[in-house]
Amino acid sequence: MKDKLIVSLDLIDMSQIQALVEKLNERVLYYKIGAIPFTCFGPEIVAYLNQQGKKVMLDLKYHDIPNVVARACEGAIQMGADLITVHASGGFSMLEESVKAVLTGSGYENAGKPRLLGITVLTSIDEAYFSDLFGNIKRTLAEQVVFLAQLARSAGLDGVVASPREIVPIRQCCGDDFLIVTPGIRPAESGIAQDDQARTMTPKEAIQAGADYIVIGRPIVKAADPVAATEAILKEMEHGYRETT
């Protein structure tokens, strides 16, 4: 299950990050670097994780004109990212240019081609907020996620980031080989805060629904005992996997 868990390092203290990575050791292979650690530490944090033998999901959620996003993807490849995120709502040309940049990019010959993921609708957004934000869209939130997933697939992306609640409809329209990465995960154990997440599922439910990777931040990085929290989450994932195979 450790190949399916991505721990989100949303921390502002490098020594805390290093201590956590050392503590979690072999239990975790993938780490997510988003706006918080990247703003604080830049490419050095990616280099540090690669040196530790870890894979990096560089979650900078690019959303700009096609040329800017495509060149940023080239930079992400040079940096050593394994998974790169762009906003699917940036549109077909932006997505297509990004795919071309990844396919023709260099610098990953020894590590395998990085995979490009489209962000659909943030997992902190619920149905009510979605209709406030996009009042003139005729689609429901779930229909919008599926629409963006189809757009991402038609542009050649490897997969999407979506809530675990939308895994089933995305699978139906995009197939089994399309990656689905799901944040918005909260362990079943009592006392776990929902935080700002709205469309959540437990690790077990997300694996049962068919997530390729689950992304978890605060339930691990803010836990009193991150090793115990990680082991409990891996166990929940394992149960979900066993019950579906």
Give the residue numbers of the binding site for substrate.
Answer: 10, 32, 59-68, 123, 186, 197, 217-218
Smallest separation (angstroms) from ligand C5P to the CB of 68: 20
Smallest separation (angstroms) from ligand C5P to the CB of 196: 7
- Interface with ligand C5P, residue 226, by CB under 6 A: no
Q: Which one, 163 or 208, has the nearer CB to ligand C5P? A: 163
Asked if residues 118 and 161 have their Cβ atoms less than 8 Å apart, the reply is yes
Active-site residue (options: 4, 54, 59, 82): 59
* DSSP code, position 33: E
Smallest separation (angstroms) from ligand C5P to the CB of 167: 13
Instruction: Tell me how far apart the alpha carbons of residues 185 and 206 are, in angstroms, rounded to a whole number.
Output: 8
59 a catalytic residue: yes
Strand partners, 185: 201
Instruction: Tell me how far apart the alpha carbons of residues 188 and 193 are, in angstroms, rounded to a whole number.
Output: 11
Q: Which stretch binds ligand C5P (CB under 6 A): 66-74, 90-98, 170-178, 216-224?
A: 216-224
Helix (H, G, I), strand (E, B) or coil at 118: strand
Q: How many residues bind ligand C5P (CB under 6 A)?
A: 18
Q: Which stretch binds ligand C5P (CB under 6 A): 16-24, 64-72, 115-123, 141-149?
A: 115-123
- Tokens 């990465």 locate to 181
Per CB under 6 A, contacts with ligand C5P among 143-162 are 161
> Which of 70, 108, 114, 60 shows the shortest CA–CA distance to 91?
70
> Which of 191, 189, 190, 199 shows the shortest CA–CA distance to 236?
189
Q: How many CA atoms lie within 13 A of 187 on its CB side?
A: 24
Instruction: Just list the catalytic residues.
Output: 59, 61, 64
Residues lying near ligand C5P in the complex (CB under 6 A) are found at: 8, 10, 32, 34, 59, 119, 122-123, 161, 183-184, 195, 197, 215-219
